[in-house]
Amino acid sequence: MKVSLAGLELANPIIAASGTFGYGIEFEEILSLESIGGFVTKGISLEPIAGNAAPRLIQTASGMLNAIGLQNVGVEEFIARKLPPLRRYPRANVIVNVFGYTVGEYIAVIERLNQAEGIAAYELNVSCPNVHAGGMAFGAEPAELEYLVSRASNASTRPLIVKLSPNVTSIAHMARIAARAGANALSVSNTFLAMAIDAETRKPRLANITGGLSGPAIKPITLRMVYETAQAVDIPIIGMGGIITPADAVEYLLAGATAVQVGTASFADPCAVERLAKGLESWCRSHGVARVSSLTKALEIPRD
């Protein structure tokens, strides 16, 4: 079940997604943090962020809409309080999700994290609004993405995973830019900009008005994006979007992913990642797959 990715050795391809698994340590009593391929922490910024007003999470048809507002404890508190207890699990891959509102903030967070122990890799959330570009996400503008990833790649002493935004015209184009700028792997993708309205009250359902859509509703779109990304770049891809069953994970591997992340599923079942790691192993056994890594990019396209 092992896979290697950007220099990391994962026990299996199942990784818990950012923003849906706290700082990891909250899960220590309900599952084994070393039984999964790894987990990505909540996005970490230079200063603590309180997040948006409620309601900030609502259920949609086959999915979920969130506008948490990047709430987090900030890099100093993360290093002082959240990271040390995770050292009880030396075989757990702790991937720290990083964001900022300026390139300088991203770099400052990475430089501070470089000094801390017990981190396997960084995942750069480029879906954050860029205050110097009128609030447009870094990952939505090719030149901004290239500059941010090249600066982050130079600053980082650890593998750098770039988490692409799906809110772009061509994910393949953005993937090529991120790879050329120094990304060691790509996560595909973040949530889709979306909104929900209550017809009775005539009000938006989220206090923030808009939010990000995740869960099974997005799976066919993100699967297509993983496929297109795998055709465009040679670096490893972490696929995600609506994974609930082991077969969902297999579909992402076939499309070109080396590993997958699981987010929304953990809201319905907090042990979803451990269940999926075991379920994927059973799936491989029952389908005569000796090595899970052999599924990556093994999509068979009928030609006649």
Ligand X SMILES: Cc1cc2nc3c(=O)[nH]c(=O)nc-3n(C[C@H](O)[C@H](O)[C@H](O)COP(=O)(O)O)c2cc1C
Residues acting as catalytic residues: 128
Q: Does 205 bind ligand X (CB under 6 A)?
A: no
CB of 108 to ligand X, least distance (A): 18
Q: Does 292 bind ligand X (CB under 6 A)?
A: no
Looking at the Cβ atoms of 12 and 214, the one nearer to ligand X is: 214
Which residue bears the tokens 């048809």?
A: 61
Burial of 257 (0-12, 13-18, 19+ CB in 10 A): buried
Residues 189 and 213 sit within 8 Å (Cβ to Cβ)? no
Q: Cα(first)–Cα(last) distance of the chain, in Å?
A: 34
Per-position x/- string for 44-83, each x denoting binding to ligand X as judged by CB under 6 A, each - no binding: --------------------x-x-x-x-------------
Per-position x/- string for 207-246, each x denoting binding to ligand X as judged by CB under 6 A, each - no binding: -------xx--x---------------------xxxx---
Which residue sits closest to ligand X, CB atoms considered?
19
CB of 141 to ligand X, least distance (A): 17
Q: Does 164 bind ligand X (CB under 6 A)?
A: no
136's tokens? 């447009």
Interface residue with ligand X among 3, 10, 38, 42 (CB under 6 A) is: 42
Residues 125-144 binding ligand X (CB under 6 A) are 125
> DSSP for 188-240?
E--PEEEE-EETTTTEESSTTSEEEEESGGGHHHHHHHHHHHHHH-SS-EEEE
CB of 67 to ligand X, least distance (A): 9
Looking at the Cβ atoms of 131 and 268, the one nearer to ligand X is: 268
> DSSP for 36-86?
SSEEEPSPB-SS-B--PPSP-EEEETTEEEE-----B--HHHIIIIIHHHH
How many whole angstroms separate alpha carbon 227 and alpha carbon 138?
23
CB of 202 to ligand X, least distance (A): 26
Per-position x/- string for 90-129, each x denoting binding to ligand X as judged by CB under 6 A, each - no binding: -------x---------------------------x----
Looking at the Cβ atoms of 256 and 300, the one nearer to ligand X is: 256
| Angle subtended at Cα 50 by Cα 67 and Cα 135, rounded to the nearest 5 degrees | 55
Looking at the Cβ atoms of 130 and 214, the one nearer to ligand X is: 214
Q: Does 263 bind ligand X (CB under 6 A)?
A: yes
CB of 81 to ligand X, least distance (A): 18
Q: Does 190 bind ligand X (CB under 6 A)?
A: yes
Determine the 3-state secondary structure of 3 from DSSP: strand
Amino acid, single-letter form, for residue 35: S
* Peptide bond just before 55 cis, omega within 30 deg: yes
CB of 17 to ligand X, least distance (A): 3
- Compute CA distances 95 → 127, 246, 251, 253, 258, whole Å: 17, 22, 23, 20, 16
Interface residue with ligand X among 3, 14, 15, 17 (CB under 6 A) is: 17
**Residues in the site for ligand X, rule: CB under 6 A?**
17-20, 42-43, 64, 66, 68, 70, 97, 125, 163, 190-191, 214-215, 218, 240-243, 262-265
